[in-house]
Amino acid sequence: MQAPHLLFKRRRMSLSLDFCYTCRAFFFHLSLMKKFSVLWVILGGLLLLAPWVFGSYNGLIRQKEGVDAAWAQVETQYQRRFDLVPNLVNTVKGAAEFEQQTFTDLAEARSRWQTSTSRDDKIAAADSLGPALGRLIAVAENYPQLQATQAFRDLMAQLEGTENRISVSRKDFNDVVQSYNVSVKTFPRNIIAGMLGFAPEKFFQNAPGSENAPSVNF
């Protein structure tokens, strides 16, 4: 039979060990709770941000599609102008004397437009047509017999309407680009734009001296 003091000592050691194990278990569970708390905070933040991220992305997609659609309208109106050039040249050639360079410039501008693939190249081709077309119209004003023909008057009416539509479509395009660029550059949406590859778009800017449409006054 063990002495009472030995039994007491053993019981005290057992209680100490139990207390240590309990403390370790408590602090272990506390550590897990902290980790899970941080995880839940992160997940909660992501859930709160998800609607904004998806909304920003979809909004940028819609605006980018709007830019492309507005540019398609610009292309359509410029294509209409280029399609009028051959008929206009053929109508004028027989009734007026022109420098051959004028016809060459018109043909080169039209060819350049047809072979252009980028937006910048298209704008450059459109700019190159304006001066030559303006010279053609200016010289035609000196030939009353040419102005009297129905074919010439019809072409001039179509050209005037086309120039007006070009001006409107160009303005609409720049307005859409401005709205899109504001979204791409403004915080905090610019973070999403940068991460997902949405870059600012260029405005429609004519070459110096080509910003005015050819004047049609007959």
pLDDT recorded at residue 53? 78
> CB-based burial of residue 143 (10 Å sphere; 0-12 exposed, 13-18 middle, 19+ buried)?
middle
Q: Are residues 79 and 40 in the same domain?
A: no
- pTM, two decimal places: 0.73
Running along the chain, 218 residues long, what does each successive block of 10 average in pLDDT? 49 53 58 60 63 84 95 94 89 72 86 90 89 85 82 89 93 95 91 89 72 49
Q: Give helix 150-185 / helix 4-93 axis angle, nearest 10°.
A: 170
Q: Are residues 47 and 64 in the same domain?
A: no
Domain that holds residue 204: 60-218
**All residues at 6 or more sequence positions from 113 whose CB lies less than 8 Å from its CB, including other chains:** 78, 79, 82, 122, 125, 126, 129
pLDDT recorded at residue 211? 47
Q: Are residues 129 and 177 in the same domain?
A: yes
Give tens-digit pLDDT for 7-18. 445 555 554 555
Q: Are residues 83 and 139 in the same domain?
A: yes
pLDDT recorded at residue 185? 92
Q: Are residues 20 and 106 in the same domain?
A: no
pLDDT recorded at residue 52? 75
Instruction: Supply the DSSP symbol for 187.
Output: T
Give tens-digit pLDDT for 57-71. 899 999 999 999 999
The gap from C-alpha 40 to its chain's centroid, in whole angstroms, comes to 38
Q: Are residues 103 and 29 in the same domain?
A: no
We report the CATH number of the domain holding residue 153 as: 1.20.1440.20
Please count the structural domains in the chain: 2
> CB-based burial of residue 201 (10 Å sphere; 0-12 exposed, 13-18 middle, 19+ buried)?
buried
> CB-based burial of residue 56 (10 Å sphere; 0-12 exposed, 13-18 middle, 19+ buried)?
buried
Torsion over CA: 87, 130, 74, 68 (sign): positive
**All residues at 6 or more sequence positions from 56 whose CB lies less than 8 Å from its CB, including other chains:** 189, 192
Q: Are residues 41 and 68 in the same domain?
A: no
Amino acid at 33: M
Q: Which of 136, 144, 121 is nearest to 87 (CA)?
A: 136
Q: Are residues 80 and 160 in the same domain?
A: yes
pLDDT recorded at residue 186? 92
Q: Are residues 46 and 66 in the same domain?
A: no
How many whole angstroms separate alpha carbon 181 and alpha carbon 192? 13
pLDDT recorded at residue 135? 85
